[in-house]
Amino acid sequence: MLKFSKQGDYGLVLMVALAEQFPTGQWISLSDIAKEKNISYLFLTQIIRPLKKEKLVEAKEGISGGYRLTKEPSAITVGSILRSIIGNVEPSTCTTSDKTCERQDSCPAVSVWQAIQQKVDDVLDNTTLQNLLDTAKTAKRIA
């Protein structure tokens, strides 16, 4: 099973929360997001660092500060979010570029892993934060 870490999952939740505020340009605090989404504030502080480093979010200190997206949700892919938080998303060592598997060149399963990698990359790189935001809005309307 291809499984993502809680950091990746909560990173997407965090980014959707920031995307909800994008049209207004409002800054939102991590403590507000932590309370609203029932996620540890300390965990969110770890997740936000790489997002800030990759310039997907910006920070403003002070009483009216917080975080916000640096670009439109439609310009941020799920792949860029996950890769900034957890690194490359790989279903097998067969698909790594550093050739960590000594059987990589002769393994009969490598083509399967490469095909899976291609599909995963396709989904991650063609799904935007706006897509997630739209899905979240639809789910709220139905609930």
Taking only the tens place, the pLDDT of each residue in 81-90 is 999 999 887 7
Distance between CA atoms of residues 30 and 23, nearest Å? 18
| Mean per-residue pLDDT, 67-78 | 97
Contacting residues for 29 by C-beta, under 8 A, at least 6 apart? 65, 66, 67
Specify the pLDDT at position 45.
Answer: 96
Cα dihedral: 69, 73, 76, 77 (round 10):
140
Within 8 A by CB and 6+ apart from 26, the residues are 66, 68
Q: What is the pLDDT of residue 48?
A: 97
**Helices 78-86 and 6-21 sit at what angle, rounded to 10 degrees?**
130
**Size (the chain), residues:** 143
- Tell me: pLDDT of 26 over 80: yes
| Confidence band of 137 (pLDDT split at 50, 70, 90) | confident
More confident call, 35 vs 113: 35
Please state, in angstroms and as integers, the Cα–Cα distance from residue 62 to each residue in 28, 29, 98, 109, following that order: 12, 10, 43, 54
Residues 14-39 have a mean pLDDT of 95
Mean pLDDT, rounded, for 39-52: 97
